[in-house]
C-alpha cells in the first residue's frame, strides 16, 4: 500500500536525519577538541613564563646584592687604608682632609649597607613569591594534565559513538532506494545540512514556521512526500513517525 510505503520511507528518512544530526553534533564536538587541549597547554605555558619572570627578578635582586657587597668591601678597605694613612700624615691640613675622607667613605658604606638590607628584604619576599608560584605551577600542571586527559577520553568515547552511528547510517542508507537517496541528498543541500524536519502541531521544528492548514492535512495523510514550504526540507508528522524505531530495531 502506498501509505505504508510513504510512512516507511518517512520513518527511514527521519531516522537518517536523526543519525546525521547526532553525527554533526559529535563532529562539532570533536572539531573543538584539539583547540581545548591546546588552550589548556597555553595556559600552562603562560604560567610557566610568570614563574620564570619571578625567578629572573629574584636573580636580579641577588646580583644587585652581590654588587653592593663587593662595593662595601672596597669601601671598607679604603677606610682601612685611610686610617693607616692617618698615622703617617705630617700636617694638620692633611690630617683633617684624611679624616674627612674617612667620614665620606663611612657615609658611603652606610648607604650601601642600607641598600643591602632593603635588598635582603626584597630577596626574601621574592623567594616566598617564587615558592608560591612554583607550588601553584605544580598544582596547575597536574590539573591541566588531568583536564586534557579527560577531554581526550571524552573525545575517544565520542569517536566510538560516531563510528557506531556511521555503521548504523550505512545500514539505514542502504534501506533507501536510489530515488529516495537522491531526494534526501537534495533536501540536505537545500536545508544546509539538515534534510528532514519533524512537524509538531503544524509547526516545522527546524524553521519554526506554521505550515498552511492544507499542507498540514496533506502531511498527516502521508500519501506523498511533502516539503516544508518555508525551509524546503522534507517533513514528517512527529505524532505518527518514530525515527528511533528504525534506529533501534534495524
Would you tell me which residues interact with Zn ion (CB under 5 A)?
A: 204, 207, 228, 230-231
Of 196, 186, 180, residue with least CA distance to 238: 196
Closer residue to Zn ion in complex, CB, 54/237: 237
Shortest Å, Cβ 233 to Zn ion? 5
- Max CA-CA distance within the chain? 135
- For residues 166 and 20, what is the distance between their CA atoms, to the nearest angstrom? 9
82: cell is 685611610
Determine how many CB atoms are found less than 10 A away from the CB of residue 211: 20
Determine how many CB atoms are found less than 10 A away from the CB of residue 239: 11
Shortest Å, Cβ 236 to Zn ion? 12
Shortest Å, Cβ 203 to Zn ion? 9
Shortest Å, Cβ 227 to Zn ion? 8
Closer residue to Zn ion in complex, CB, 165/206: 206
Closer residue to Zn ion in complex, CB, 176/207: 207
Closer residue to Zn ion in complex, CB, 20/68: 20
Shortest Å, Cβ 51 to Zn ion? 56
Of 153, 150, 231, 219, residue with least CA distance to 188: 231
DSSP 8-state class, residue 224: S
β-sheet bridge partners, residue 236: 198
Amino acid at each position: 500500500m502506498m501509505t505504508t510505503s510513504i510512512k516507511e520511507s518517512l520513518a527511514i528518512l527521519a531516522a537518517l536525519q536523526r543519525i546525521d544530526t547526532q553525527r554533526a553534533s559529535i563532529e562539532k564536538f570533536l572539531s573543538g577538541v584539539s583547540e581545548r587541549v591546546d588552550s589548556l597547554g597555553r595556559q600552562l605555558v603562560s604560567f610557566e613564563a610568570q614563574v620564570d619572570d619571578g625567578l629572573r627578578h629574584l636573580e636580579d635582586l641577588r646580583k644587585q646584592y652581590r654588587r653592593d657587597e663587593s662595593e662595601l668591601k672596597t669601601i671598607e678597605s679604603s677606610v682601612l687604608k685611610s686610617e693607616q694613612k692617618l698615622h703617617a700624615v705630617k700636617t694638620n691640613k692633611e690630617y683633617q682632609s684624611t679624616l674627612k675622607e674617612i667620614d665620606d667613605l663611612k657615609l658611603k658604606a652606610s648607604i650601601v649597607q642600607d641598600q643591602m638590607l632593603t635588598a635582603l628584604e626584597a630577596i626574601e619576599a621574592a623567594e616566598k613569591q617564587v615558592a608560591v608560584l612554583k607550588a601553584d605551577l605544580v598544582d596547575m600542571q597536574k590539573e591541566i594534565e588531568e583536564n586534557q586527559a579527560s577531554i581526550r577520553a571524552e573525545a575517544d568515547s565520542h569517536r566510538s559513538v560516531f563510528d557506531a552511528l556511521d555503521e548504523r547510517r550505512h545500514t539505514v542508507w542502504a534501506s533507501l532506494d536510489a530515488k529516495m537517496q537522491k531526494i534526501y541528498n537534495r533536501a540536505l543541500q537545500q536545508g544546509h545540512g539538515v534534510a528532514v524536519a519533524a512537524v509538531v502541531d503544524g509547526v516545522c521544528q527546524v524553521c519554526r514556521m506554521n505550515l498552511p492548514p492544507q499542507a498540514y492535512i496533506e502531511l498527516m495523510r502521508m500519501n506523498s512526500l511533502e516539503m516544508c514550504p518555508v525551509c524546503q526540507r522534507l517533513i514528517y508528522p512527529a505524532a505518527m513517525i518514530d525515527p528511533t524505531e528504525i534506529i533501534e530495531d534495524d
